Amino acid sequence: MLVYNRAYRRYRETNALTASPINLSKWLTRRNAIRGFIVAGVAALIAGGLLLAYLLLYVAPNLPSLEVITDYRPKIPLRIYTADNALIGEFGEEHRDFVPIKDIPEMMKKSVLAIEDKRFYDHNGIDWRRALGAARANLGGAMRQGGSTITMQVARNFFLTREKFYGRKLNEVMLAFKIEAALSKEQILELYMNQIYLGQRSFGFGAASQVYFGKPLKDLDIAEMAMLAGLPQNPARHNPAVNPKRAKQRQHVVLKSMRDLDYITEDQYQKALHETLHVSHRGQEFDTHAEYVAELARQVVYAQFKEDSYTKGISVYTTILKADQNAAYESVRRNVLNYDQRHGYRGPEAFITLPATEDERDDAIEEALQRRPGSDRLIPAVVLEVGAKSVKVQNPFGEEITISGDGLRLAANALSDKAKDTVRLRPGAVIRIIQEKNNWSITQVPQVAAAFVSIDSVTGGYHAMVGGFDYNLQKFNHVTQAWRQPGSSIKPFVYSAALEKGFSPATLINDVPLDLTGAETGNEAWSPKNDDGKFDGPITMRTALAESKNVASVRILRSITVPYAHNYLGKFGFDLAKHPKNLTMALGTGSVTPAQLVGAYSVFANGGYTVEPYLIAKIVDGSGKIISEAKPRTALPDDARVIDPRNAFVTDSMLRQVTRTGTGAAVARLGRPDLAGKTGTSSDAIDGWFAGYGGGIVAVSWMGYDDSKSLGGKEFGSSVALPIWIDYMKVALQSRPPQERQVPAGLTQVDGEWLYDEFTGDAARHTLDMDDVPPGAENVAPQPAGTTPPPPTN
């Protein structure tokens, strides 16, 4: 009461005319408010001073150096290219394409600024208006909104974590000021647009453009740019490959902001809103399928640079040609599928129970299909309904597809109620489908393996390499790692050896049954057989090779001796330890890889010189400096010669006969006179081969099972491997004119056959093992080209 009276007396003295108890109360309230503001202001000044002191005396001195951004060296993955610059592989934890700010489209920059930092060019690292708005929203401690500018995000991405606590935020603010003082706005934006994570292992907008849309930034339209610009806030939630609905919603927010800022016109806005985007669901895709090549190149680089291989931006340029690689890949896939379908449908890959409700059913189907890796165009699907003439399936994208007519041809037997449970199609069956010419068909993933490889006959550079049907299903490279029996594809090397022993293409060999004792074989008694079970009596060596006669080949080897022929194989780069030192060597019971065989055949292709197949043309570091570079030879040096040029010429003439009238006669459809080669089928048709050359290209194709089971009683090298070779050569030879070979000195033509000068005379009618020939048969004339029965198949 005393306090009140004193205040009242003072109030009356200063307000004598208007004083009253009511006015006095208002005056006291006003005075207390003023005093409160003064106290709050003083407290704020003290807190601000303390905060400023904390920032200047503690936070600022402890900020990290900006060297990591002023000398920005992004982690660029190892990239593998073809000789004609097609990207075929990439290795590294981060998929990143560094794009200088000057090369980033202006609209891409505007898309990002519209949603991430509208006043980027107006603030000094902190957008106070946006920060205060975020602070008001977060006062309850929920921290649901962020006021980070692009500069602050750069600070966070390079130096801090993404956790939301106030100590980190202060560091972020101070770092933003420091970055703004050190770098220009364009430099900051360049860092942001190349460093930010955007999902699917992609860092930066250049990488994201390739991953989601399969094209560089400069080729994106407004709708696509807006889709990418929406990713930084939450790459997982707004991933268009995984969450297309949420990604579209976010894209609309970006486009609305762009329109509000007049970055785009109303017409552009409406067009982008309604544009259908084609997003890749398979992540990054390369320019051609060369996964086996890319892995070999990776191994070479890793051996030299270890973990730095994956972060320093190293580029490897191989000798592979994109068009050739495409042709090889497609040929292997097509012909493996053809073989697989010839041998019938094996049944669904699995069976699942389909729930009654639609949502549960979709979840069950999605889970089942996610367990089935894709194989290029062989798409996994689950059967929904089965009728007498149609099958309805659901693919991984939730689409229902009805297959009928020719699309059911492969699985026709599986539609029968009498089919085995493991084969019969029914709801819940997990199968494969393929679309060809807008028509869907039931197919299956082949179990058989295959390989193809081609090289330049002079330089040895690889032009194409396919190590298997699908690298994602099997990473074992059959070109370089599969040691298989070459079968009859080894015979040309035995025949080449025979030429050095006085034989000629006109030499007559007795194609009659042959019984060898254990003493002759060094093991058990053996009676070699021809694949067709037939014997033709006296035939020329040319015919014996063209028709791949086993018995005649064994007779030749027995005549020139096993030790001589075995050592002779070494001239062609074969591993002699992997070839038997007995007469079965003539039938290819040793082991070779396709890579080894293609190198061996190049000796016949180039006139007698050995070549060393190679894959890496050059390796370049992140700055473009050449680390290493191959120096391919343009001419064949004398010290590389391993066989007489006459031998190479004559053997080539016999191998050309194979492709005209022999087991490789299907090659004739290519319509070229310079093609030569040899089929190969190992015992019990476990391996099928074709090795040949033309136009300066040497190529080998192979097919077989990894568990060494038979390809089938009616399958041969000519039916499984030769079609692969032909389909490839049809493309690879388009720009290569036929090559005519010059006749080497030292050859004489007698009765249409080329003979070494020193072996003319009696050798022109040389005969071998004619003791069992009926009287007069030894005078049978050599069979002229074109008069033989239908081509054999071995």
The residue annotated as part of the active site, out of 488, 548, 682, 701, is 488
List all residues 6 or more positions away from 274 whose beta carbon is below 8 Å from its beta carbon: none
The first and second tokens of residue 577, run together, are: 């330890």
Concatenated DSSP letters of 621-671: -TTS-EEEE----SS--GGGB-S-HHHHHHHHHHHHHHHHHSTTGGGGGG-
Residue 489 three-state SS: helix
Between CA 539 and CA 784 the distance in angstroms is 11
**From residue 588, how far is each of 358, 520, 716 by CA, in Å?**
58, 18, 14
Rounded to whole angstroms, how far apart are CA atoms 571 and 609? 10
C-alpha closest to that of 327 among 703, 723, 695, 728: 728
Cα(369)–Cα(383) distance, integer angstroms: 11
Cα–Cα distance between 339 and 446 in angstroms, integer? Answer: 9
Closest CA to 603 of 679, 680, 655, 561: 655
Confirm whether 488 is a catalytic residue: yes
Tokens linked to 448: 């058989």
Q: With H, G, I as helix, E, B as strand and everything else as coil, classify residue 617.
A: strand
Strand pairing category for 449-456 and 697-704 = antiparallel
Please give the single-letter amino acid code of residue 5. N
Q: In the 3-class helix/strand/coil scheme, how is 139-193 assigned residue by residue? A: CCCCCCCCCCCHHHHHHHHHHCCCCCCHHHHHHHHHHHHHHHHHCCHHHHHHHHH
Complete DSSP assignment for 672-715 = -TT-EEEEEE-GGG-EEEEEEEETTEEEEEEEE-TT-----TT-
CB 87 within 8 A of CB 81: yes
CA–CA separation, 55 vs 45, rounded Å? 15
Q: What tokens were used for 207?
A: 């990488």
Q: What are phi and psi of 628, to 5 degrees?
A: -150, 155
Whether the CB-CB separation of 656 and 680 falls below 8 Å is answered with: no
User: What is the CB neighbour count within 10 angstroms for residue 788?
Assistant: 19
Residues facing 462 on adjacent strands: 455
Enter the tokens of residue 442: 């039931």
Q: Which of 90, 116, 224, 291 is catalytic?
A: 116
| Per-residue DSSP letter, 64 | P
How far apart, in whole angstroms, are the C-alpha atoms of residue 225 and residue 272? 10
Helix (H, G, I), strand (E, B) or coil at 770: coil
Cα dist from 723 to 88, 331, 684, 729, 738, whole Å: 25, 8, 20, 10, 20
* Separation between Cα atoms, residue 582 and residue 517, nearest integer Å: 13
CA distance 558 to 510: 13
Burial of 411 (0-12, 13-18, 19+ CB in 10 A): buried
How far apart, in whole angstroms, are the C-alpha atoms of residue 80 and residue 315?
Answer: 6
Phi-psi region of 283 (alpha: psi -120 to 50; beta: other; left: phi over 0): left
CA 181/CA 175 separation, integer angstroms: 10
Catalytic residue positions?
Answer: 116, 488
